[in-house]
Amino acid sequence: MGKKSLAIGIDIGGTNTVFGFVNKEGEIICEASITTCAEKDAEQLFERLFTEIDKFFAKYKNDFKLIGVGIGAPNANYYKGTIEAPPNLNWGIVNVFDIVKRYSSLPVILTNDANAAAIGEMTFGAAKGMKNFIEITLGTGLGSGIVLDGKLVYGQDGFAGEIGHTIMDPNGRKCGCGRKGCLETYASATGLKKTVVELAAINKYKSKLCNKSFEELTAKEIAIAAKEGDRLALDAFDFTAKMLGLRLADSVAYLNPEAIILFGGLVLAGELLLHPTKKYMEKYLLNIFKNKVKLLPSELLASNAAILGASALVWNQLKG
Amino acid sequence: MGKKSLAIGIDIGGTNTVFGFVNKEGEIICEASITTCAEKDAEQLFERLFTEIDKFFAKYKNDFKLIGVGIGAPNANYYKGTIEAPPNLNWGIVNVFDIVKRYSSLPVILTNDANAAAIGEMTFGAAKGMKNFIEITLGTGLGSGIVLDGKLVYGQDGFAGEIGHTIMDPNGRKCGCGRKGCLETYASATGLKKTVVELAAINKYKSKLCNKSFEELTAKEIAIAAKEGDRLALDAFDFTAKMLGLRLADSVAYLNPEAIILFGGLVLAGELLLHPTKKYMEKYLLNIFKNKVKLLPSELLASNAAILGASALVWNQLKG
């Protein structure tokens, strides 16, 4: 009997880099994590990474064969194979294809983490069988991946899908990108915290959240407060949902997707966010789209989504 | 020698329906127009239309053969072959595929007028050779067609590309779609006229446009006034360009196109609109996109763009 195939999924983060061996069914056979050492160069990371991968694979090599390497990373470019000066890695512009070649002859597919999440969702999660959907990753910021006709949209230079950096208000909140009023300054964990501080400054609330600074607040405690009925927390979720729902309605007008799937830390708040976002999205949808677009939570577990998404790059490429 | 191929291009409008025979090079061999009689049903239009087409084609049939029918129409659905209750036609929902079958055995391709313009631009105009671009049609309203990887984006139900109905301001101007603040209430001939009236009410201008009502104003005279240096007209163009430029910057974040192409009546104002729109688009673009996206005027002549666009549906389909 032939050996079974496994894809390597790698997710490069500012603190840790995780990797795993994933089969076609989306089962992670083995996973591990190493520190990224973001202050050093990229070369050292990949050297350590492939040493670990070889070591871990040793015990599987009699039964399995590796078929490709999928990598999710911030500021990654699918076409060029580069990671371009991500804010949390001290790398400059790095060509991942060139570096990986020194350690492995396997085909390498690289994309940014939000796109990897979308491919992961289509291959193993809530978007299985879907041809047209948008994956929104709500974490510290807001990432997005657009799938049309079963393919990820990369656009002319590989940078499509920056919905987090569409502008809600040109005079709005300052964004990390240097501009003002981007969606991710409102609809993200950071945005939710900002909204709590802003609302507490404008209105009178009896809420324990009023005593906290932006730095002290966490999205998790806002969610817990909201579940306990805290008015300030509930209003903050409502405003977040309003901004997100409005932009999702616009996204439907652009792309007419079958579904929009919400992924990431902030979605763990569950119905707290999903319900009002759905309400506002429907409110702002053009008539022909009303009650037709599904708004779904991700079916990828947050704990292994990064590895699954990265490995799905390989499985999805082979399929197409 | 074999007969040369011609595609039939048909554009159905509220007042007139135009048709023509178009060769692969985008030359219109023959064109004509009949009244749509929009108050009557669709059947009578197609009956008269194909009677005319047969009559006109009689003199070409020794040298040419017809290979397909491309139809551009408001509210047309590419997948279903339907025209669905357009505001300016008293039709309800009509299945064009079924009706045309009675008069012709040629393959029929139907899409809305904005999508037809995009395909026309790609086949015969400024987007020749491009794989990723957005066509914006600025007329009474704002239509758009999105091309990615050389294919028009239809989305799940055939209604993608409604950029004119993305929302600039949820409390903004009332739109014909029943909602508020859609892009087309600002960036269109109608929007430009509204802006003149609004600015004249807010500020003090010495302008002959101040004496005109919304009904009396035309986009053309606003353009003429602007060219003569009229402050009110110039401010109105600037505001129109600001709203359009902002949304085009967002569109780039979604789709990372190579170019955005402006088509339609309002673009005849030339640099009056193009120059400030480019300025605002660049201002609002995310850094990675700055100075990379072309903003171009259409190269389709307004007078025959509808026929070219509709016929291009046939030529483009054959190619793919």
The complex's ipTM? 0.94
pLDDT at A237 exceeding the cut of 90: yes
Which residue of B78, B83, B151, B166 to mutate against A (max A Cβ within 10 Å)?
A: B166
pLDDT at A1: 65
pLDDT at A23: 96
Instruction: Determine the angle formed by the axes of helices A305-319 and A113-124, rounding to 10 degrees.
Output: 70
- Per-residue pLDDT, averaged over A138-146, amounts to 94
Contacts of B163 in chain A (CB under 8 A): 253-254
Q: Which two tokens stand for residue A257?
A: 């997707």
Bridge partners of residue A146, in order along the sequence: A134
- Contacting B with CB below 8 Å, chain A residues are 131-132, 146, 148-149, 151, 153-163, 165-167, 170, 177-179, 246, 249-251, 253-258, 284, 286-289, 292
- Per-residue pLDDT, averaged over B36-54, amounts to 93
Contact A107, A5 (CB under 8 A): no
Contact A131, A316 (CB under 8 A): no
When CB atoms are compared, the residue of A153, A250, A287 closest to B148 is A153
pLDDT at B320 exceeding the cut of 60: no
Label residue B268 by pLDDT band (50, 70, 90).
confident
Task: Give, in degrees to the nearest 5, the angle at Cα A283 between B250 and B144.
Answer: 40
pTM to 2 decimal places: 0.94
Give the ranges where B86-177 is alpha helix by DSSP (H). Answer: 96-101, 113-124
pLDDT at A58: 95
CA distance B105 to A127: 39
Contacts of A177 in chain B (CB under 8 A): 286-287
When CB atoms are compared, the residue of B156, B170, B249 closest to A167 is B249
Contact B107, B47 (CB under 8 A): no
Please tell me the total number of residues recorded for chain A in this structure.
320
Q: Which two tokens stand for residue A171?
A: 């005079």
Find, among A285, A186, A171, the residue nearest to A237 by Cα: A186
Question: What is the sign of the dihedral through the CA atoms of A41, A47, A49 and A52?
Answer: negative
Task: Give, in degrees to the nearest 5, the angle at Cα B163 between B161 and B167.
Answer: 140
Question: Judging by beta carbons within 10 Å of its beta carbon (0-12, 13-18, 19+), is residue B270 exposed, middle or buried?
Answer: exposed
When CB atoms are compared, the residue of B156, B157, B167 closest to A250 is B167
Amino acid at B50: F
Contact A117, A299 (CB under 8 A): no
pLDDT at B285: 98
CA distance B206 to chain A (A): 30
CA distance B6 to chain A (A): 30
E strands, A50-155, are 64-72, 76-77, 82-84, 93-95, 108-111, 133-138, 142-148, 151-152
Please state the φ and ψ torsions of residue B288, each to the nearest 5 degrees.
Answer: -65, -15
A129 Rama sector, left if φ>0, alpha if ψ -120 to 50, beta otherwise: left
CA distance A272 to chain B (A): 23
> Inter-chain contact A166–B292, Cβ cutoff 8 Å?
no
**For chain B, what is the mean pLDDT?**
94
pLDDT at B118: 96
Residue found under tokens 């903050």: A236
> Inter-chain contact B287–A251, Cβ cutoff 8 Å?
no
Q: Which two tokens stand for residue B22?
A: 């178009």
> Inter-chain contact B178–A287, Cβ cutoff 8 Å?
yes
Contacts of A256 in chain B (CB under 8 A): 154-162
Question: For chain A, how big is the Rg over CA atoms in Å?
Answer: 20
pLDDT at A109 exceeding the cut of 90: yes
Instruction: Please give the order of strands across the beta sheet that includes A93-95.
Output: A76-77, A82-84, A93-95
Which residue of A256, A282, A284 to mutate against B (max B Cβ within 10 Å)?
A: A256
Label residue B86 by pLDDT band (50, 70, 90).
confident
The predicted-structure confidence for B222-260, as pLDDT tens digits, reads as follows: 999 999 999 999 999 999 999 999 999 999 999 999 999
When CB atoms are compared, the residue of B177, B286, B287 closest to A287 is B177
CA distance A252 to chain B (A): 8
